[in-house]
Amino acid sequence: MITLDGLTKRYGGKTAVDDLTLELTPGTVTGFLGPNGAGKSTAMRVILGLDAPTCGTALIGGRRYADLDRPLRTVGALLDARAVHPARSGRDHLRAMALSQDISFSRVEEVLALTGMTDAARRRAGTYSLGMSQRLGIAGALLGDPQVLMLDEPVNGLDPDGVRWIRTLLRSLAAEGRTVFVSSHLMSEMERTADRLIVLGRGRLLADESMERLAAGAGVRVRGPRLLPLAGVLPAARWTGPEELTVTGHTSEQIGRRAHELGLVLYELRPVESSLEESYMRLTANSAEYGAQR
């Protein structure tokens, strides 16, 4: 479990993470979303003890990362797939990590096989493609068989087969009761992989919702021959056709009850699901740190 309580990180006059309070539970893949500069990587760095919080706390299993006896056995992380000595082979890189945590070399071979890196393990890491570096980084995150996994943009550089593999891996790890926390800008993959979504904007929490609730945020479509009275009593209604309204902020049951009270005939009344990308764009419309002029 990862617990953040009032977590804040400032760099001089800039607030990168602003009063973030979350609890990430086992058995769930939690997606971490936000525009560039939203504070996602900073939050992960603070959780892993790479940066000190300005105020608030970040705990893993109730303890700070710095207080963990053998941290790789508690939390596995991948923040930068290229953070490997280029002259070291993939196998030697993992063996060095294993020695530091009293992990057997047989476990090194297990994670190499799990990530499809056995054949490339003798090659120097500096010769790896980005996709191969990602696989090696994921092998390192899994090395200690941890209960908590934190991965920053793990699908970068992976081919379609690799993207499917990491999706299946993350789901299976969560199914084993592990806490899986993964950031990505690839909305289609988050839609297929995550159970829960955390959205940041300018360091602040914009949303903490299940995938289903976030996708259901587009409203309810209402069709009928005489909808003007209904539009008059539902301020969040907007016309989307001559005989069609889209209503946000109300359930289908609530809208149907109001229509019945007004004596209105309805042809259609159903929730309108939006894609994750559409929901994300609505949430972050005013939170992008960097945006092109239009």
Residues 177 and 250 in one domain: no
Residues 184 and 242 in one domain: no
Report pLDDT for 283.
Answer: 78
Calculate what percentage of the chain has a pLDDT beyond 90: 77
Residues 205 and 257 in one domain: no
Residues 188 and 257 in one domain: no
Whether the predicted pLDDT of 248 surpasses 90: no
Task: Specify the length of the chain in residues.
Answer: 294
DSSP string, 115-165: TT-TTTTTSBGGG--HHHHHHHHHHHHHTT--SEEEEESTTTT--HHHHHH
Whether the predicted pLDDT of 216 surpasses 70: no
Confidence of residue 291 (pLDDT cuts 50, 70, 90): low
Residues 113 and 10 in one domain: yes
Residues 52 and 171 in one domain: yes
Whether the predicted pLDDT of 274 surpasses 60: yes
Residues 132 and 245 in one domain: no
| CATH number of the domain residue 203 falls in | 3.40.50.300
Rounded CA-CA distance 105/92 in Å is: 10
Residues 67 and 31 in one domain: yes
For 41, the domain range is 2-210
Residues 195 and 234 in one domain: no
Mean pLDDT of 155-182: 94
Report pLDDT for 215.
Answer: 66
Contact predicate 209/197, CB 8 Å: yes
Residue 123: inside a domain: yes
Report pLDDT for 211.
Answer: 80
Pairing of strands 28-33, 14-24: unpaired
Residue 42: inside a domain: yes
Instruction: Select from 167, 193, 210 the last residue of a domain.
Output: 210
- H or E element at residue 214: helix 211-215
Instruction: Select from 210, 243, 259 the last residue of a domain.
Output: 210
Whether the predicted pLDDT of 288 surpasses 70: no
Mean pLDDT of 235-251: 89
Calculate what percentage of the chain has a pLDDT beyond 70: 96
Report pLDDT for 294.
Answer: 45
Give 71-96 pLDDT, tens digit per residue: 999 999 999 999 999 999 999 999 99
Give 10-31 pLDDT, tens digit per residue: 999 999 999 999 999 999 999 9
Give 174-204 pLDDT, tens digit per residue: 999 999 999 988 888 888 899 999 999 999 9
Report pLDDT for 84.
Answer: 94
Residue 140: inside a domain: yes
Residue 289: inside a domain: no
Mean pLDDT of 283-289: 73
Give 46-79 pLDDT, tens digit per residue: 999 999 999 999 999 999 999 999 999 999 999 9
**Overall domain count for the chain:** 2
Residues 121 and 142 in one domain: yes
Residue 287: inside a domain: no
Rounded CA-CA distance 131/56 in Å is: 36
Residues 71 and 153 in one domain: yes
**Which has more pLDDT, 286 or 121?**
121
Confidence of residue 163 (pLDDT cuts 50, 70, 90): very high
Instruction: Select from 181, 210, 239 the last residue of a domain.
Output: 210
Q: Looking at the chain, which runs of residues are DSSP E strands?
A: 2-11, 14-24, 28-33, 55-60, 75-78, 148-152, 179-183, 196-201, 204-210, 220-223, 237-241, 244-247, 268-271
Give 110-148 pLDDT, tens digit per residue: 999 999 999 999 999 999 999 999 999 999 999 999 999
Q: How confident is the prediction for the chain on average, in pLDDT?
A: 92
Whether the predicted pLDDT of 212 surpasses 80: no
Rounded CA-CA distance 128/90 in Å is: 9
Residues 228 and 107 in one domain: no
Residue 283: inside a domain: no
Report pLDDT for 86.
Answer: 95
**Which has more pLDDT, 212 or 170?**
170
Residue 236: inside a domain: yes
Residue 292: inside a domain: no
